[in-house]
């Protein structure tokens, strides 16, 4: 097999974030850009001779082209076997499933998650380790270091692999196995949930649902599981065909971007249950008839009802949530007498806790929930979890949530996103907050007294690593919180995320409008950060 060693020079800015390297498609299409990052990843991993790899992506524009390059570079770097999803398709949770099932050395997942796609859209790539989870900072830092030093990359001159053709193909001495993208994941879901109970619910005639795949990767998985395996009527899954530009939409399953689903679920003749997933299939939104379930509440409710799921009927060991996620899950953990962990944003921080069996369920407020079945968040898994609970308890979504609030209290919670803020303005705002932190404790704002103010630092209890400056936290006596973070998932400017939370356990106040219930804290959050003065923004881009 002819192999070329190509001279190159480093590109600036190839530093992986919490979900890998994300840039515009045009950036990745620059000569040597993708190749540099892949070679840097292989260099950071050390000797790749004889190792195995899983490769797949969410089907966005440039997915198959990038996969062909990766396969040829993997062959030139000594890998022995690669599993690749048919037509280059593997949802992020399915890729984690395949890595774990076949005990691969790792995987390369091509996705920019919920970011828009197409020729002018975004593209991304990340490395997942042998446990199926995103690479920890120790590896991503090594990858970044390699990107600053790279001078050559290795690539095979072989012909392209037929990605549509299931089975084994050879690329020099390396074997490429094109696998059905859906089968392994479907089998895993059937081993976790009570499929007969869910099928009875979906075919009863008394229950209806809608699942919006948003023209992204989850479509084939949802059609196979919900419609073919579980008997939901054809058409239950909408926007189910993955498209390279996601149909021109923004595949972020929230109240703003899943507009078609939200309109239907809040109509007079709404289905009983609605759900959506994102670009790469790892996020979820849960809706009832004219009812929205926050991701924070969803995690808490799943944990409180885990005993109804076959895979978790013997109990869960603990719950982990990202720091900005509401404290609703902590209250469930306290009642169950299990561990509760607060980690930085980024699914990779859950991996050590899951591997050590310190937690079973985990979640983030950014519409991500998951468990120890894989090492990624998993959108369709969360949907099946909800359906399994509804099948067992025979309650509506609203009834289930309201009963939970009556038992545990309600953490009113919202997130305000200011997208595309110029980086200098966003950083100035965070610095303005940073300078106040030492003076805020004990200060009183109306009826609230600040109990702590810090820039969150996380000490991993498993490997003792420390992650600093993970977000500004301002906590008040009684549990109310305001949190500010700059997101690393976008490709232009910065996204300022402001999280506002207030706990309520008085029965008469459990069903207020969220923005109304939080209005005083929202005003205080804007005041403390000087959002209007420092960014010029008078309103968030997205409210969830």
How far apart, in whole angstroms, are the C-alpha atoms of residue 275 and residue 284?
7
Report in angstroms the alpha-carbon separations of 20 from 17, 136, 346, 497: 5, 10, 10, 20
Q: E strands along 118-208, which residues?
A: 122-128, 152-156, 167-171, 174-179
Token pair of 83 as six digits:
């599993």
Q: Annotated catalytic, 326?
A: no
How far apart, in whole angstroms, are the C-alpha atoms of residue 59 and residue 88?
7
Closest by Cα among 231, 240, 241, 185 to 204: 231
Which residues does 311 contact at the CB level (< 8 Å), separation at least 6? 191, 192, 193, 371, 373
**Burial per residue of 215-244, b for 16 or more beta-carbon CB atoms within 10 angstroms, e otherwise:** bbbbbbbbbbbbbeebbbeeebbbbbebbb
Contact 31, 61 (CB under 8 A): no
Q: DSSP string covering 301-332, please?
A: HHHHTGGGSGGGTT--SEEEEETTS-THHHHH
Q: Which of 40, 113, 277, 326 is catalytic?
A: 113
Question: Max Cα separation, the chain?
Answer: 74
Backbone region of residue 13 per phi and psi (left: phi > 0; alpha: psi in -120 to 50; beta: other values): left
Sign of CA dihedral 249, 254, 255, 261: positive
The Cα angle at residue 191 between residues 189 and 192, in degrees rounded to 5: 65
Token pair of 260 as six digits:
């078609």
Active-site residues, by number, are: 113
């Amino acid at each position: 097999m002819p192999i070329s060693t190509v001279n190159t020079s480093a590109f600036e800015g190839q530093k992986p974030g919490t979900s890998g390297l994300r840039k515009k498609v045009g950036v990745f299409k620059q000569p040597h850009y993708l190749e540099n990052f892949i070679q840097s990843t292989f260099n950071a991993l050390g000797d790749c001779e004889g190792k195995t790899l899983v490769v797949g992506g969410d089907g966005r524009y440039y997915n198959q082209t990038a996969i062909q390059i990766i396969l040829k570079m993997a062959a030139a770097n000594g890998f022995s076997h690669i599993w690749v999803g048919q037509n280059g398709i593997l949802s992020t949770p399915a890729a984690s499933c395949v890595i774990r099932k076949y005990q691969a050395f790792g995987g390369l997942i091509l996705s920019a998650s919920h970011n828009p796609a197409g020729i002018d859209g975004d593209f991304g790539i990340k490395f997942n380790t042998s446990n199926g989870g995103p690479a920890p900072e120790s590896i991503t830092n090594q990858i970044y270091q390699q990107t600053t030093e790279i001078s050559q990359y290795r690539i095979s001159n072989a012909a392209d692999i037929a990605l549509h053709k299931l089975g084994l193909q050879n690329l020099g001495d390396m074997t490429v196995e094109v696998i059905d993208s859906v089968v392994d994941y479907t089998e895993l879901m059937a081993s976790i949930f009570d499929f007969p109970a869910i099928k009875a619910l979906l075919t009863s005639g008394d229950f209806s649902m809608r699942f919006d795949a948003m023209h992204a990767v989850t479509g084939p998985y949802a059609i196979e599981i919900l419609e073919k395996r579980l008997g939901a009527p054809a058409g239950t899954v909408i926007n189910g065909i993955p498209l390279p530009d996601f149909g021109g939409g923004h595949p972020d399953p929230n109240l703003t971007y899943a507009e078609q689903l939200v309109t239907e679920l809040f109509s007079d003749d709404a289905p009983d249950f609605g759900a959506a997933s994102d670009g790469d299939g790892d996020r979820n939104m849960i809706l009832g008839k004219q009812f929205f379930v926050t991701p924070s509440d969803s995690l808490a409710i799943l944990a409180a009802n885990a005993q109804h799921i076959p895979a978790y009927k013997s109990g869960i060991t603990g719950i982990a949530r990202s720091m900005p996620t509401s404290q609703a899950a902590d209250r469930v953990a306290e009642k169950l007498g299990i561990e509760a962990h607060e980690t930085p944003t980024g699914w990779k921080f859950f991996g050590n806790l899951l591997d050590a069996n310190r937690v079973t369920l985990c979640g983030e407020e950014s519409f991500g929930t998951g468990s120890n079945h894989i090492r990624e968040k998993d959108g369709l898994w969360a949907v099946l979890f909800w359906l399994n609970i509804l099948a067992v308890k025979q309650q509506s979504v609203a009834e289930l949530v309201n009963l939970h609030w009556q038992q545990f209290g309600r953490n009113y919670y919202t997130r305000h996103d200011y997208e595309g803020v110029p980086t200098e303005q966003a950083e100035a705002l965070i610095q303005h907050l940073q300078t106040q932190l030492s003076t805020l404790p004990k200060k009183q704002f109306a009826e609230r007294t600040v109990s702590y103010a810090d820039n969150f630092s996380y000490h991993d209890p498993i490997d003792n690593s420390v992650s600093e400056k993970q977000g500004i936290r301002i906590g008040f006596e009684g549990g109310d919180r305001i949190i500010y973070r700059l997101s690393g998932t976008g490709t232009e400017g910065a996204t300022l995320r402001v999280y506002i939370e207030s706990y309520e356990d008085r029965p008469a106040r459990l069903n207020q409008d969220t923005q109304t219930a939080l209005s005083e804290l929202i005003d205080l959050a804007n005041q403390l950060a000087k959002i209007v003065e420092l960014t010029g923004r008078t309103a968030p881009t997205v409210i969830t």
